[in-house]
Chains A and B, each alone.
Chain A
Amino acid sequence: MRLRPAFRGTELGLLVWVALLVALGFAAVVGAETEKLDAASLAVPLAYLSVALALHLFLVARGFRGDQLLLPLALGLTGVGLVLVERLAPAALLVQQLTWTIVGAGAFAAAMLIPRDLTAFARYKYTWAIAGIVLLLSPLLPVIGREINGARIWIGLGDILNFQPAEGVKILLVIFFASYLEENRELLARPPQRLGPFAIPPLVYLVPIVLMWALAMGVMVLQKDLGATLIFFGIFLAMLYLATGRATYPALGLVFFLAGAFVMARLFAHVEARVDIWLHPFAEELRFGPAYQIVQALFALGNAGLLGAGLGGGMPERIPIVWSDFVFAAFTEETGFAGALALLALYLVLVFRGMSIALRAPTPFLQLLAAGLSFTLAFQTLVIVAGNARLIPLTGVTLPFLSYGGSSLVTNFVIVALLLRVSDITRRVRGG
C-alpha cells in the first residue's frame, strides 16, 4: 500500500451512523435497566467507538483505497452486538467481548498487512490444509485442550483466553479450496467421460479435497460440533459450484448430506434428540427439558410484534445462554419484526458487497477467495437465524459480529480484512 494518506469519506460518514446507533442502543438498554439516562452508561460505547475510529484512521494512514462499506457494516453489527451483551449478559462478559473486539481489531490490522502478497497464499495450499487439520485437532490435546459444555472444541491459555480453532480453520479451508479449485477447475468441470458403457464424472480429481474435507468432517463428528460440520460442508459445496458451475456437485452433495444426516440421526442419540426438539418442541416431555431453549426463543419472537417490546423491555434473558446462539431472537423480541428485518438486510448488504468484490476480482483465485469468504458469512447467518426461527434444527453456530464469542469475532474481522484486500488488488489492477 502506498503510504499517502487517503480520505475515506463514505466510510467516515457511515461510522457516524454507527456511533449514533451504538449510543442510542446503550442509552436505551441502560436507561431501561437503571431507570435513568446518564453519562456513566457511555463508558463502554465510547471505548468501542474509539476502537472503531482507530481502525478507520489506520486505513486512512496506510493510504488504503479499497472498499469503504465493509468495515462500517462490520463495526455497526459488532456495536449492536455489544449493546446486546450489555443487555443480556453479566458485566464480566461485556468486558470480555470488548477485549475480544480489541483483539479482533488487532487481527484485522495484522491481516491487512501480512502476507504482503495475497496471491502467494495460493502457493502454500497444502501447508494451509495441514495447518487446518492440526488446528482442528488441537482441542484434543491434553494441556491446552478444553471441554466446555460437553464439546471438546476449545483451546485456551489460563482461564480467560478460550478460543475455538474451528472458526479460524474456516478461513484456511476457503483459501485451500480457492487455490486448489482454481488450478483444477477445468478438469472438474468437464462433462462426464465415457469409460466403456459407463459415464464417470471426473471425480478422480476431487480426491484431494474430498480427503481434506472428510478429515475435517471426521474431526467434527468426533468433537460433536455439528454446527461446524454443517458450515464446513456448506463451504465445500458452495466453492465447488463456484469453481465449476456444475450444479450436479452441490446436488449430489446435498443428497449425501441428507442421507448421512438420516444415518447419524439413527446412530447418534444426540443428533436424533436435536431433530426431535426441532419437530416437536412443545411436546410435554421436551418443553421443560431439552427443548426449553427453543421454546423460550419462540416465546421471545412471539412477543416481538412489529416494533418489539423495546430495548430493555422484553424478557429474552429467560432463554438460557441467550447471548451466544440466540442473540437474534433477543434482538427481535426487543426491536420487533421491523428491527429483525433491518438487521437481516444489513447482513445481506454485507454479503452483496463481498460478492460484488468477488465478481470484479482479477484472477479466479481471488474471485473464489472473496466469494467463498462472503458465502461463509452468509451461510453462518442463515443457519443461526433459521435455527432461531425453527426453520431448521439448532446447530450452535454464532451470528457473525453480533453473537458473544471471541473466536467468531476475530475470525470475522479477518474475513473482512481479506475482502478489503481483494478489493484493493482489484482497484490497483483494473484502475479507478
Chain B
Amino acid sequence: MEIPFQIALWGVRLAFLLVLYLFLIRAFGALWRALRAEGELAARPAAAYLVVQTSYPQGPRVSERLPLRVVSAIGRDAGNDVVINDEAASARHALIEHSDGAWWVADQGSTNGTLLNGARIARRERLRDGDLVEIGRVGMRFEAAR
C-alpha cells in the first residue's frame, strides 16, 4: 500500500474517533440540557395551591400551602406530587389537573373517597377557587393562582 493511501486511511480512522467523541459530547450536552429544562419545569411557580385547613396530629400543618401543577397526583405514596401521609388516604387517591381551561378534581378509585365541599365526588368534578377538598383526615382549600 502506498504511503499517500495509508495516510488517507489513517485520516479516515482518526476522523472516526473524532466524530465518536463529538457525538458523545453532543449527546452529553443534550442530556444536560434536557435535565436542566426538566429541573426548571419542576421549579416553576405553582399553577395553584391547596391550603391546609384541617389536619390530624402527624399530618401537614394547618395553613401550609401545597403547590399544584398542571397535573398533580395526590395520595399516600411517596411518589405523588402532594403526599398525604394518612392511613385513611389511599396510595393513589386523587388527581387535580388543569385542562380545557378549567380545574378538575378526579378520584382515583380511593377506598374512602374524595370529598368536595363535603360531598363525596363520583369520578370527576369541576374545581373552583375556594372549594374545600377533603382527603382522608386532611381538609384543604383550593386556591387558583392569579
Contacts and interface: CB of A to CB of B under 8 A. Distances in A.
Nearest to A350: B27
A342 B22 CA distance: 10
B22 A363 contact: no
Contacts of A10: 30, 33
A21 B13 CA distance: 10
A27 interface: yes
B145 interface: no
Interface in A327-379: 335-336, 338-339, 342-343, 345-346, 349, 352-353, 356, 360, 362-364, 367
A68 B30 contact: yes
Contacts of A336: 17
Given A21-B20, A35-B1, A360-B38, A311 B13 contact: yes
Interface in A48-79: 67-69, 72-73, 76
B26 interface: yes
Contacts of B12: 24, 27-28, 31, 37, 311
Contact of A363 (B5, B8, B79): B79
Nearest to A334: B13
B121 interface: no
B19 interface: yes
Contacts of A346: 23-24, 27
Interface stretch (A11-19, A167-175, A223-231, A399-407): A11-19
A430 B80 CA distance: 11
Given A311-B13, A339-B17, A430-B69, A362 B26 contact: no
A395 B17 CA distance: 29
Interface stretch (B49-57, B59-67, B70-78, B128-136): B70-78
Given A28-B9, A35-B1, A364-B77, A14 B27 contact: yes
Interface residues of A, dominant DSSP: helix
Interface string B31-59: 10111011001100000000000000000
A73 B70 CA distance: 31
A17 B26 contact: yes
Nearest to B12: A28
Interface residues of B, dominant DSSP: helix
Interface in A236-288: none
Contacts of A25: 16
Given A69-B34, A311-B13, A432 B41 contact: yes
A107 interface: no
Contacts of B73: 362-363, 429
A25 B14 CA distance: 10
Contacts of B24: 342, 345-346, 349
Contacts of A363: 73, 79, 92
A344 to B, nearest CB: 10
B16 A21 contact: yes
B27 to A, nearest CB: 5
Contacts of B8: 31, 37
A339 B20 CA distance: 8
Contacts of B9: 28, 31-32, 37, 310, 312
Nearest to A426: B38
A42 interface: no
Contact of B21 (A310, A342, A360, A431): A342
B13 to A, nearest CB: 5
Given A68-B30, A346-B27, A353-B31, A310 B10 contact: yes
* Pairs of residues from A and B, 6 with the lowest C-beta to C-beta distance, nearest first: A431-B70, A432-B41, A17-B23, A24-B16, A28-B12, A310-B13
Interface of B: 1, 5, 8-10, 12-17, 19-24, 26-28, 30-31, 33-35, 37-38, 41-42, 69-71, 73, 77, 79, 92
Given A345-B28, A362-B79, A430-B70, 7 more contacts: A13-B26, A17-B23, A21-B16, A69-B30, A310-B9, A339-B17, A349-B24
